[in-house]
Structure 1
Amino acid sequence: MTAPAARAAEAAVRWSLTDLALHAETPRSWIYRCRSPFGPAALKLLTEAGAEEIAGAAYLAGRNGDGAARLFGVSEDAMLLEWLDGPPLGDRVRRNGDAETPAGLAALVRRLHAPAATAPGLVPLDRSIAGLLSDTSADLAAPRALARRLLAEGRTPVPLHGDLHHENVLETPDGWRVIDPKGLIGDPDFETANLFRNPEGRPDLALDPARALALARALGHGLGRPTARLLAWAVVLAGASRTWRPEPDFDAPMLAAVQAAMSEAVSTDGDWV
């Protein structure tokens, strides 16, 4: 894709930006590093495919910089964000595995779920996984049934990052902070579900049921939540992901891995009810 120079120039005028330099390009957005009146910033221009990511602005507005990048400005298809320096947590996990990170991730989730302003515009969790809930294929019957059970339990909804994984957690000089939220609202136990699929580049971790079980136990300990319930949401996400952007070589073994881990957790630790 060609970077949208006219849109970038329009945003530069709107927010008084200078020194724009294209930093990254994905099917969902273009990201420019720039200078702003607020300090170093990232200008994120959404593509049509990434239009729903504008809900992330509502989430960031509610966080107001607490554990997350600050939102400096938002328009219909663009966001101006605080530029955060620091490597993604995925770099550490790719090198060393999970050993030293679950406690920090649990602390980060607790911080992100502490009371904060809830801006309008967050997407209900059930809407986010609507494709799974309406799917009729037999191979997704288990995650579909789990999704319905979990949603029916009616835990008090909280604002959710909604895409919390190791590449979206930066180790900044001010501590771990998150970027690129989906901006959901729903069951707080959903928040850790994407951690089991990551980090990028380590499918040996993502597809290992023993790793999934160990990670869920560590996160559950740090959050005071049942291991099996965290894994249940990981099963739901694995199923929902197949209705979003299928990855045939990854989806089936990913679903099998978290299902196996959940079965073991229920067998050894008990169900969550």
Structure 2
Amino acid sequence: MNGTMMNQSPAETALSRALIRWSLTKATPMAETPTSWIFQVEQNGRNHAVLKILKPGKGDGEQRGGELMQWYAGEGAATVFDRHGGTLFMEWLDGIPLGEAVRQGRDDEATIALATVVTHLHRPRPDAPKDLLPLRTHFDPLFNTNIRNWPYTARDLFARAAGVALTLFDRPSPQIPLHGDLHHDNIISSPRGWLAIDPRALLGDPVYEVANALNNPVGADDLVKDPRRIAAMSELLSLRLGFPRKRILGWAAAHAALSACWALEDEQPIAAQLAMLPLLLTAYDQA
């Protein structure tokens, strides 16, 4: 190893190696997440692409996600051109997030786009990744939480949502690879249509795939909390995907409670989840 590389940060070292490995030029930092560094790079001096470099020690979920993205082979998701160690070499998506379409007042159109992405992602393919996280394990923070961590006035909501989740797990369902975090701002427009990014890479009930979307997008709170939107969106998703509407609403409520448990673990506020839970549970009861 030369002296220059020894003085580099982990990100710089991984970037240098990736640029050489894939003959890339002109790396521009785009974002840093809790688990990765994102760079825009140029290929052959003209085509833009992305390098997603995982931070050391942040690997499991992201590694699973990279494997799942590669398995999608560009159908309904950004294309992964190649993967080496903790670095993904991927298609550059230069469009807007689907959340932006909703914030611009195109909610029904966005729901149809979401359903189309799910259809592409759920298309049967051979040789699914082996180490996907079971959906039941993903829900451990909900089932293992200490109810005393919840505000006193919200404990009945927590108990009901946990009960709904148990009911859903008790009913047999197909077990398929799931993106697992398919909210509006993880779907980006491109010349190839709307494409998903950043999966959690789970294995479980296909209906869970749309659970997070009913609680989203961020920045459209009045719309998201409108019972008419919950009814219309669940109806449209049911129609487009053939999922039972009651099951869609059940997973949406269960996910809102799970999200609250994650937030409580991180000492974050849970006002948004507490606003959604009674609405989703009521819609579930009435479905």
Query: Which TM-score applies when normalising by structure 1?
Result: 0.88
Which residue of 2 is the match for residue 57 of structure 1? 66
Q: Does 1:33 align with 2:55?
A: no
From the superposition, tell whether residues 214 and 61 of structure 1 become closer, same or farther in structure 2 (CA, over 3 Å): same
> What is the letter of the counterpart of residue 132 of structure 2?
L
Which residue of 1 is the match for residue 243 of structure 2? 225
Which residue of 1 is the match for residue 187 of structure 2? 169
Q: Does 1:159 align with 2:177?
A: yes
Structure 2 unaligned residues grouped into runs of 5+:
1-8, 148-154
> 2:65, 2:89 → 1: CA distance?
12
Structure 1 unaligned residues grouped into runs of 5+:
266-273
Name the % identity: 36
> 2:247, 2:176 → 1: CA distance?
17
> What is the letter of the counterpart of residue 54 of structure 2?
L
Match of 1:179 among 197, 203, 217: 197
> 1:212, 1:241 → 2: CA distance?
18
Query: 3-state DSSP class of the match of 1:182?
Result: coil
Preserved contact between residue 35 and residue 54 of structure 2 (Cα < 8 Å): yes
After superposing the two structures, state which structure 1 stretch, 213-222 or 76-85, moved more. 76-85
Which residue of 2 is the match for residue 100 of structure 1? 109
From the superposition, tell whether residues 256 and 77 of structure 1 become closer, same or farther in structure 2 (CA, over 3 Å): farther
Structure 1 residue 210 displacement after superposition: 2.3
Which residue of 1 is the match for residue 54 of structure 2? 46
- Residue correspondences, number: 264
Q: State the Cα RMSD in Å.
A: 2.2
Which residue of 2 is the match for residue 248 of structure 1? 270
Which residue of 2 is the match for residue 269 of structure 1? none
> 1:214, 1:90 → 2: CA distance?
17
Structure 1 residue 106 displacement after superposition: 1.8
> 2:286, 2:172 → 1: CA distance?
25
After superposing the two structures, state which structure 1 stretch, 159-168 or 143-152, moved more. 143-152
Preserved contact between residue 93 and residue 189 of structure 2 (Cα < 8 Å): no
From the superposition, tell whether residues 74 and 241 of structure 1 become closer, same or farther in structure 2 (CA, over 3 Å): same
CA deviations 1:241-270 (Å, max 9, x no partner) are 1222343221211222212222232xxxxx
From the superposition, tell whether residues 232 and 41 of structure 1 become closer, same or farther in structure 2 (CA, over 3 Å): same
Query: Of the two, which has the highest radius of gyration?
Result: 2
CA deviations 1:25-82 (Å, max 9, x no partner) are 2223221001247953211123468532221112112111111111223344332221
